[in-house]
Structure 1
Amino acid sequence: MLKLDHLVINTRFDTDAAQGLFEQLGFTLTPRGYHTLGSLNHAIVFDDHYLELIGLPADGKTIREEIASSPLGADGLVFRIDDPDATFASLRDAGLEATPPQTFSRPVPPLGDARFTTVRLAPGQLPGGRVYFCQHLTPELVFRDAWRAHPNGAYALERLHLIDASADTYARLGALAPGFELAFHTRDAFDAQFAPLAEHVVQRAPRYAAITVRTPQWREIGERAAAAALPTVTQPGRTLVALPRFDTLLEFVR
């Protein structure tokens, strides 16, 4: 079964602003990391998965093309793997085009280098965003207790919401492990479910559009969002927060 490793929000050249917004919302962010591929990131770590804010150096000196050419906001869906070569072969057998396993790293001072091997689907095969698979060679440098505690009580990513993407197409990857779901919407259905904040999600399709986060403090998130001047609404059972600068909605539930 497919186990979530992380979701990705593309901040492009605006990672400083994204860092500030997520900290204001009460998340603990890892120190900024610098990949050998040229990108930079912060991670919001939960027990066995995380939300990654990925971007590029603001000075423009290093360009990772797949980041620069991808849209702002929720953009990446990444599954955990243990055997990159077997994953590459199984994707090929399913008729999907993927890149061969690639290993890269980022320093985690003073602990060492966090190392990863990834297999990436070629663009355009699964509509909505980038899909890839990640093996953690040094998980102890990512899933650290100090980074798992969030002032807003968040403890898991529950759902990624897609607009005008085919569930049947994603089913080619296999079944998802319990605890994380993909929710498929038409644009009209998404607008109805996420009213009145859906207007902050740009009209383009197919796309990733919203992320559901679990926290017992889901009501209090609205106060944090308002203090950060972010559009927010609290409804029965959930609080919605729009990130207009990053074309993404966050849904907080218990």
Structure 2
Amino acid sequence: MELTTTTLLVTFAGVFLICFMKGAFGGGFAIIGIPLLSLVMDPITAGGLLAPLFIAMDLFSLRYWKPSTWSKPDLNLLVPGLVAGIGVGYLLFRSLDHRAIAIVMAVITLIFVGIWFKAGGEVRVRPRSSPKAVAAGFTSGITTMVAHSGGPPLAMYLLPLGLSKQVYAGTTSMFFTVGNLLKAAPWLLLARPTGNVLSLMVICLLAIPCGVWLGWRLHARLNQRQMYRACYGLLVVTALKLLWDGVFGYIA
């Protein structure tokens, strides 16, 4: 990969956007910034580039999403499934049909958002469910490993709990901090960054402090209702991106 001005600017913008989402919503919407990276590099290279950057983003985000913003009971249920899902995703990475996974995840996400929209755009608070939490963590582990799109399964579990906006974002942030730490080594085995990719990675580190901080500033300005509506809106964007990737993958 040539380190051209276009490659540098586009990649930096993509990483900045991911950092912004991390600061505003705690993570889970990395796929929003990945289309920019796909303009200048293949998906495997992008995965190898992002794996260490995700960890740097997560560590910096802990400055804002402190332990007081984590829903520990939910994390205790979600994380074991996440660990198992990442393991399964890595073992089956080469054999899984990424296109089919993207389409199925997109359809499920759109149905989930459709139900919310039909209910008038209000969150109907539901009790915590251990089986649902484990299933959400497991599914998120697989999709974050194969497509950097672990956000929808987690959101579909957390949003109906009616958590405060800070606890929702903090729990999401901590969940993906664990996930990104776990999937870094597998991704670096699949795509070992060398040469220009390493240089690009170092340059993109500069996007993290400003991106996360600006995202956090947006989070502080949003009230509870606006925060949840933004999350549901981002789920639609994520689902459409997944649907595009899946369908276009079969056509191309």
Normalising by structure 2, we get a TM-score of 0.30
Specify which structure has the higher proportion of strand: 1
Specify which structure has the higher proportion of helix: 2
Kindly indicate whether structure 1 or structure 2 has the higher relative contact order, using CA contacts under 8 Å at least 6 residues apart: 2
